[in-house]
Structure 1
Amino acid sequence: MGSADTGHLVTLGLGEQAARTYLALVALGTSTLDQLAEVVGHRPDEIRCGVEELIQVGLAGRAGPDRGQFVAMPPGPALDLLTRRREAELAAARVAAADTFRALRQGVVEGVENLLEVIRGPAVQDRIRQLEQSVRSEVRGLDSPPYYTGADVNQTELDNLAAGIRYRAVYAKTALERSEYLTDNVVPCVKAGEEARTLPEVPVKLLIFDTDCALLSLSLAEIDNGEGAALLIRPSSLLAALTGLFEVCWRAALPLALGEQDTGPYLQPSERRLLGLLAAGLGDEQVARTLGISRRTLFRHLEGLMSRTGAANRFQLALHAKRNGWI
C-alpha cells in the first residue's frame, strides 16, 4: 500500500486513515475489524472511524450472517460522490474567499474615507471656525499664503486665547511680508498671547486642533478652479506625522517678538517689534510699512539701538538682542 495510492483518495476528500483501510480491505476481501486492524497496524478501535467513513461514502459494506464483517465496494460510484462533494467544497471556498476579499477591501476603503475628508470653497473657513470653537487645549499651525479671506483679525482665536487656549504658530516669511495680514491679524494675536515663530518658508499650510484632527490647506497650484480647498485628517499615522512635522519646524524657527510686553527701561515696545520684524527676515521697506513709519525714521531707530547697545552693525545688534531676551 503505497502513499501514492492513498494520496489520490485523500485528494478526493477521504481521510488518511480511511484511505489506508480501504486499500487493506481491497487486498483482504471480506474481513473483520480485527483482521483489518492487524494489516493496517492499528488497534481495532483506532480504525473503526475509518471503516464507518468508508461505509458512509459507499466504498465498503457490511457482510456475513451477523454483519460483523466488511467488504470493499467498487470505487466508481463512491469516487463520483467524493468528487462531487469536493467540487462543492471548493466552490463554497471560492465564494467565501471572494466574500472575505470584498469585505476586507470595503473595510479598508471605508476606513480611508473616514480618515480623510476634502473640503472646498467657503466651507473651508466655516470648518476652521467650527474646529477652533470646539478646541479644548491647543491649536498649532504652519502659516503661509495663499489666503482665501481678508486680513481681518481672527476673533475666535482672540476669544480662545482669553479663555486659556494655547496657540503656537510658525509663520513663513511670505506671510509676514503681507503688511495688512501682519498688522491686522498676526500682531493682534501675538499681543493677545499667541506664541509665534518664523522660518524663511514652511513645508505646508497646516492647522492642528488638539490631537483630534488637522486641516491641510491646498495651494492654488494644487487645485483646478482657484477656489480654496483643504484636507481634513482625523487620528491616524498621517496625523501623527504632520504633528511631528510641526514640532520640528517649531524647534527650528526663530521667535517672532511682536508683543507689547514690558521689556525693561532699555527697550521700548515699538523697538521690540522692530527687532522682531528684522529677525523674521523682512526688508527695511516692509518693516517701515508695517510699523507705519518712514524709512528715515526706521534708520534713526536702528542707529539709536546700535548706539545704546554698542553694536557696530545689525548682526551685532541681533546678537545683543538675542542674548538679552529681546527677541
Structure 2
Amino acid sequence: MLEAAGLTAVEEAVYRLLITNSTASADEVASQTGLTSGQAEGVLAALATMGLASPTDRQPSHFTASPPDVALLPRLQRNADALDQARAAVTDLLESYRGTRRRGDADQLIEVITGAEALRQNLRQLQENARHEMLWFCKAEYVAMPSGSNRSEYEALDRGVRYRVLYERAFFDDDGAVDNVVEAVGAGEVARSVPHLPLRLAVADRSIAICPLVPGGPSGSPIEPTAALLRDSSLLEALTALFERYWEDAVPLHVSGVGAVDVTKEAHGTGTLRETDRRLLSLLVAGVTDKAIASHMGLSRRTVQRHIHQMMTLAGATTRMQLAWQAARRGWL
C-alpha cells in the first residue's frame, strides 16, 4: 500500500510492526514476521537509512518507528514532484514524436471525413473538447448541421468557451436563420456578417479544425460531403489567419433589447428613426436580404422596400450603399 513512498511489501510490514509495538529488536521482528534474524536486521537497517526507523537510546539493538507524517509525507511529495517532472518530459517527447511524424506522415496532419453523419459527429466532438474558443465560417445551405440544431454550441458557451462566428449574407435567406442567430447571440455568441465566405470552417482552440476538401451538396443531395480534420500545422495556421482577416472587415451583429439582430449594442442616434425602421436598417446593413428581413419582421417584402425607400428619402440617399453611409453618419446605427 506504501509502494508510492518507495517501500517494499516487507519493509512496509516491518514499519507497521514498529508503529504498533513502539520498539522491537531484529529477533522480535523475525519472530513476528517469519523473517530470519539476518533478514530482519537488513530490513531495519534499510528503514533507518530511509529515515523511517532509528535505534533507541537505551537499547541500540531495538528500533522505533519515525512518525508517519514526518517520515512518509515528504517522500510522497518528492515522488509526486518526480512524477510531475516525468509527465512533463513525456509530454515534450510526445510533441517531438508528433512533430517528427507530421513531417514524414501526412496522415498525422489530415484525417478525411466522409458523409454527413460522420461530419456531424466530428463537429459535435470538436465542440465538446473545446476549452477556450471556437471560430466558425457559416455559409448558406447547410450540409450536415441545420441552422439552430447545433446545441453543442450552447453547452460549450455555458462552459465558458468563446464563440466567434462569421455569417455570409446568403445564410440569412434560410428559413428561421435570423431567429437562430438571435438566439445564439443572446446566449453569448459573438457574431459578424460578411457578403461572402470562401468555405465552411470550424476551428477549436486554434489547434484542430474541420473544413471541406471538395464541395458537398446541401442536405438531401446525393453528393456526400467530404471534409478534412486538420491538426496543428502550417495549413491550420493559414486557415485561422484567413478567419481573422475576414473578421476584421465584417459587420458586428448584436441582439437589441427587443430581441432583434442589430449591428451595434446601443443606438447612438437622436431617435430620428422609429424602432421598426431602426431594426430594418440594422438587418439591411448586416447584409440580410429583403426577403429574409420580411420573414424575420413579419412584414411583406413590398412593405420592407417601402420603409427602405422612405429612409433613403429622409437621408437624401439615392442608393442603399449611400443610405448605409448616411445612417452611420447620422447615428442611426
Q: Match for residue 169 of structure 1?
A: 165
CA drift of 1:178 comes to 1.5
8 Å CA contact retained: 2:102, 2:108:
no
Q: Quote the Cα distance in structure 2 between the aligned partners of 1:108 and 1:153.
A: 35
Q: Distance in 2 between matches of 1:138 and 1:228?
A: 25
CA drift at 1:146? 4.0
SS in 2 for 1:119: strand
Do the aligned partners of residues 162 and 274 (structure 1) sit closer, same or farther apart at CA in structure 2, a change above 3 Å counting? farther
Q: Which residue of 1 aligns with 2:244?
A: 247
The answer to whether the Cα contact below 8 Å between 1:141 and 1:207 also exists between their aligned partners in 2 is yes
Aligned length: 218
**DSSP-derived class of the 1:131 partner:** helix
Structure 2 equivalent of residue 311 of structure 1: 315
Pairing partner for 1:111 from 99, 105, 111: 105
2:210 is paired with a residue whose SS is strand
Which of 195, 203, 209 in structure 1 is aligned with 2:204?
Answer: 209
**Is it true that 1:178 corresponds to 2:174 in the alignment?**
yes
Alpha-carbon separation, structure 2, partners of 1:239 and 1:167? 18
Aligned ranges for residues 1-327 of structure 1 at < 5 Å? Answer: 107=101, 111-121=105-115, 122-147=117-142, 148-183=144-179, 185-217=180-212, 218-220=214-216, 226-259=223-256, 260=259, 263=267, 266=271, 271-299=277-305, 301-302=307-308, 310-313=314-317, 314-323=320-329, 327=333
Secondary structure of the corresponding residue to residue 168 of structure 1: strand
TM-superposed deviation, 1:199: 1.9
Q: Any gaps of 5 or more consecutive residues in structure 1?
A: 1-105
Once residues 213 and 219 of structure 1 are traced to their aligned partners in structure 2, the CA distance between those partners, rounded to angstroms, is 20
Is 1:257–1:273's contact at 8 Å kept on the other side of the alignment?
no
The alpha-carbon deviation at position 242 of structure 1 amounts to: 0.6
- Contact 1:142–1:206 under 8 Å retained in 2: yes
Scaled by the length of structure 1, the TM-score of the pair is 0.57
Contact 1:257 1:272 in 2 (8 A): no
Closer, same or farther in 2 for the Cα pair 1:156/1:142, shift >3 Å? same
Q: Which has the higher helix share?
A: 1
C-alpha separation between the residues in 1 aligned to 2:288 and 2:130?
32
Distance in 1 separating the partners of 2:183 and 2:282:
15
CA contact (8 A) 2:134 2:202 kept: yes
Unaligned runs of at least 5 residues, structure 2? 1-99, 260-264
Q: Please, what is the CA RMSD of the aligned residues?
A: 3.2
Sort the Cα spacing of 1:249 and 1:279 in 2 relative to 1 into closer, same or farther, 3 A. same
- SS of the residue corresponding to residue 202 of structure 1 reads coil
CA contact (8 A) 2:169 2:289 kept: no
Q: CA deviation at 1:292?
A: 2.0
**Partner Cα distance (1:268, 1:230) in 2:** 46
CA shift for structure 1 position 141? 1.2
* Deviation of 1:152 (Å): 2.8
SS of the residue corresponding to residue 154 of structure 2 reads helix
Q: Check conservation: 2:140, 2:172, Cα contact below 8 A.
A: no
Q: Secondary structure at the match of 1:179?
A: coil
User: Aligned AA for 1:164?
Assistant: G
2:241 partner amino acid: G
Contact 1:137 1:210 in 2 (8 A): yes
- Tell me: CA distance 1:195–1:229, structure 2 relative to 1, closer, same or farther (3 Å): same
Taking the aligned partners of 1:298 and 1:284, their CA distance within structure 2 comes to 7
Paired amino acid for 2:297: L
The 1-side partners of 2:237 and 2:331 are apart by: 32
Q: Mark the CA change 1:201 to 1:306 in structure 2 (over 3 Å): closer, same or farther.
A: closer
Aligned partner letter, 1:137: H
